[in-house]
Amino acid sequence: MNQPTNQLTALKQFTTVVADTGDFKQLAQFQPQDATTNPSLILKAVQKPEYAPLIAQVKAAHPNAPMDELIDRLVVRFGQEIVSIIPGRVSMEVDARLSFDQAANVKRAKRIIAMAAAAGIPQERILIKLASTWEGIQAAGELEKEGIHCNLTLLFAFCQAVACGEAKVQLISPFVGRIYDWYKKSAGAAWVEADNALDNDPGVKSVTRIYNYYKKNGIKTEVMGASFRNVGQITALAGCDLLTISPELLQQLSASNEPLAGVLSAQAAMKLEAPAMSYNEAAFRFALNEDAMGTEKLSEGIRAFAADAIKLEALIKAA
């Protein structure tokens, strides 16, 4: 008789599992297909003694490089380690302080790709991460036309997903946990956890709507649920194209033998009503403005990534 399958193994039957970490030494045990990084994750990793030498290596190899270049080189250095462990793609993030500058996003993305190529990382194994601002989405559209694939992050509002689909970006990362956080905080004492769990979780509902819209309308952009707070949010999205999961939650999934079934499917989405939508810049900005959660979480996310980039610069200077 077969041993019961753990939830992580079961999940991989329905969804591509991605590791959400800069801690590449943890990756191999979970055997993810892809991996994602961001400034916060790299900052967290380089504060561990085993990763501190990476900063020294980058500085020693490029002693006269300006700080913005050193940041990108450190991102690529982590990417180099990660692609040696995983079979798929690694996401590398453009500095969040450029989130409202389309041309600067394009320029930095191309520099990261060039640095990665010099480090032996093929372009097809990289996703450039950009914030899902209007400027970030348009930059991604430009880059995609040149064969540079992008992962649009900090995605909270439905209009962001629609615009990403229109720009033909490779992949989006809607943030399940941060949406959940906003609604929970907003409800305050009126929040009832049991009423907002699994498929009633506001973050889960957001990703489900995007997934169904894309599949119904033949949009090729991959949907990768991100930023999970608990295993229930993950299992409720089994069947999503990809899910990027922290090592802590990957550990919980691998330790559980609870049954796990597919929830989302392209076939089911085809039967739903989800008429195609389109946004120009003015309509996009108004739709985002009308979504208080999306507006607040996008701004907060950019601020947090920018703050961590500044902390990372301080560590590099001190090394």
CB 241 within 8 A of CB 212: no
Beta bridge mates, 16: 242
The set of residues, in sequence order, having a beta carbon less than 8 Å from that of 49 and lying 6+ positions away, is: none
Tell me whether residue 11 is in a domain: yes
In the numeric block, the tokens 């590398």 are attached to 92
* % of the chain at pLDDT higher than 90: 91
- The pTM for the full model equals 0.95
Tell me whether residue 103 is in a domain: yes
In CATH, what number is assigned to the domain containing residue 205? 3.20.20.70
CB 92 within 8 A of CB 116: yes
Q: For residue range 219-245, list pLDDT tens digits in order.
A: 999 999 999 999 999 999 999 999 999
Tell me whether residue 1 is in a domain: no
Helix axes 67-83, 52-61, angle to 10 degrees: 120
Two tokens, residue 75: 């991102």
Query: What letter represents residue 292's amino acid?
Result: A
Rounded Cα distance between 112 and 126, Å, is 10
Beta bridge mates, 222: 171
Tell me whether residue 160 is in a domain: yes
Q: For residue range 3-16, list pLDDT tens digits in order.
A: 558 999 999 999 99
- Quote the number of domains for the chain: 1
**Mind telling me the catalytic residues?**
129
Beta bridge mates, 36: 20, 91
In the numeric block, the tokens 């601002």 are attached to 133
The set of residues, in sequence order, having a beta carbon less than 8 Å from that of 105 and lying 6+ positions away, is: 94, 98, 99, 130, 135, 136, 139, 140
Tell me whether residue 263 is in a domain: yes
Range of the domain at 71: 7-318
Q: For residue range 95-116, list pLDDT tens digits in order.
A: 999 999 999 999 999 999 999 9
Tell me whether residue 249 is in a domain: yes
- Residue 37: predicted pLDDT: 85
Query: What letter represents residue 132's amino acid?
Result: S
Tell me whether residue 2 is in a domain: no
* % of the chain at pLDDT higher than 70: 99
Confidence class of residue 156 from pLDDT cuts 50, 70 and 90? Answer: very high
Average pLDDT, the chain: 95
